[in-house]
Amino acid sequence: MKKVFFKYFAFASLFIISCGGGGDGGSDDVITPPVQTVDPPSVAMLTSPTNNKVCEEGTSVSDSQSSVNFQWTAGNNTDSYDLRITNLNSNQVINQTNITSTNKAVTLSNGKPYSWKVTSKRNGTSKTAESSTWKFYLSGNGISNYPPYPSTLISPSSGHVYSSSTSSVELSWDGSHPENSSLTYDLYIDKTDGLQEPISSNKNLSAKFKSVQVSSGKSYYWRVKATDSNNNSSYSIVFSFRVD
């Protein structure tokens, strides 16, 4: 009987030792490497064409087009840049992406107003930095007095939907002139296309905002005409909004 007990005890002890795992076998914890952070890029400073330049000449490509060399100073922590140019008459956008230098020559149509800005990018991060937006007029044959820049519509944003209880909406915009001429505005607003002749109370406005009466279940279209002291004028693009 003692022999049987001894054999059982020895077997049990062996089982406990083998299942105990031992304290000297090392840890199974996974070591996480430190996260590598990438500093985001900083804003590039625009240098040329200068803001509100009336007669940017560029380099002639044809009778109707010129090459404009856009230039900016480098942003910190930046690997590349995106250049965005907008024809302010047509709202057509020209994008030049992944530029590794601090300048880019782009061919544009003469006699048109443009805006431009630069976005700084860095490898390893999705964060970007956007410059200010500058405007200029590209020189055109026969232009002695440049018209205002097309106004920028601010509020409401295009496609905005108001509740059915809304009876009045304030429209606002911003306008400027390359030669700092004083401006007046005509507000076009209708339920058709934003091109219909404005009523007399919406003409020759000096303010850059106007409240209008609206009705529920209707869509509205609006734009702004800016006119300077030489009777030169320009039109904004058309925005729309709806009242449920």
CB atoms within 10 A of CB 240: 17
* Residue 39 falls inside a structural domain: no
User: Considering its fold, how many domains does the chain have in total?
Assistant: 2
DSSP structure string for 32-74? PPPP---PPP-PPEEEESPTTEEEE--EESSSSEEEEEEEEEP
Residue 98 DSSP SS3:
strand
In a domain, 74, yes or no: yes
| Claim to verify: residue 129 and residue 177 sit in the same structural domain | no
Structure tokens at 206: 């000096």
What are the pLDDT digits (tens) for 43-85? 999 999 999 888 888 899 998 999 999 999 998 999 999 999 9
When pLDDT is averaged across residues 143-149 and rounded to a whole number, the result is 84
- Picking from 78, 103, 138, the residue at the C-terminal end of a domain is 138
Domain membership of residue 36 (yes or no) is: no
Structural domain ending residue among the three candidates 89, 108, 138: 138
Please indicate, yes or no, if residue 6 is contained in any of the structural domains: no
Kindly indicate the confidence band of residue 13, based on its pLDDT and cuts at 50, 70 and 90.
Answer: very low
Q: How far is 2 from 8, CA to CA, in rounded Å?
A: 10
Shared-domain flag, residues 167 and 231 = yes
Do the domain assignments include residue 143?
Answer: no
Same domain, 126 and 61: yes
**What pLDDT shows up at residue 56?**
87
Contact by Cβ (8 Å): 168, 139: no
Instruction: Tell me, letter by letter, the H, E, C secondary structure of 190-241.
Output: ECCCCCCCCCHHHCCECCCEEEEECCCCEEEEEEEEEECCCCCEEECCCEEE
Q: Are residues 209 and 174 in the same domain?
A: yes
Longest pairwise C-alpha distance within the chain: 123
Task: State yes or no: pLDDT of 24 exceeds 70.
Answer: no
Is residue 145 situated within a structural domain? no
Residues 236 and 191 reside in one and the same domain: yes
pTM of the model: 0.76
In a domain, 33, yes or no: no
Domain of 57 in residue numbering reads as 45-138
Residue 229 in domain: yes
Closest to 228 in 3D by CA, of 139, 137, 145: 145
CATH of the domain at 107: 2.60.40.10
Residues 121 and 163 in one domain: no
Tell me the average pLDDT of the chain.
Answer: 89
Binned at pLDDT 50, 70 and 90, residue 7 comes out as: very low
